[in-house]
Amino acid sequence: MFTYRRRVQFAETDLAGIVHFSVMFLYMEEAEHAMWRSAGLSIADPKSDLAWPRLSASMEFRSPLRFEEEFEVRLQISALKTRTIEYACTIVRDETIIARGSMSAACARKLAGGVMKAAELPAELLERLKNVSR
């Protein structure tokens, strides 16, 4: 499991001072990018022709998170398939569960004209991600 620590910023809250639900998805994606960086990778490598379009994302909210609170995003790869990566996420403050979510992304090659075509996950990428998500 990969852990990403963070503090709630004012701009992420609504008028009640609670993190807006949409921001929880950003936290999940930030943790994903941090996981990739810890593996020596970038999800948006300018030298690569790979892209990672999202296939699905969901979040179940359990407790509010407020301005200035510190929290963790616990992210793990729940499935590595031939062409997709699935993540499971738990957002916690201390040991209070704030939200649980999931997200899946497809591996795609960027072709001429902005077209993308599904591609197999590169073996080196698989190995690196497996090592950081244990």
- DSSP one-letter string for 89-132: EEEEETTEEEEEEEEEEE-EEE-GGG-EEE-PPPHHHHHHHHHH
Q: How many domains does the chain have?
A: 1
Question: Which residues form the domain of 6?
Answer: 2-132
SS3 state at 63: coil
Residue 52: what pLDDT?
96
Residue 95: what pLDDT?
93
The 10 Å CB-count burial string (b at 16+, else e) for 106-118 is: bbbeeeeeeebee
Residue 114: what pLDDT?
85
CB 129 within 8 A of CB 35: yes
Mean pLDDT for back-to-back runs of 10 residues, the chain (134 residues): 96 96 97 96 92 97 97 96 96 97 97 92 90 77
We report the CATH number of the domain holding residue 108 as 3.10.129.10
Give the C-alpha separation, 109 to 83, whole Å. Answer: 11
Residue 133: what pLDDT?
72
Q: pTM of the full predicted structure? A: 0.93
CB 91 within 8 A of CB 65: yes
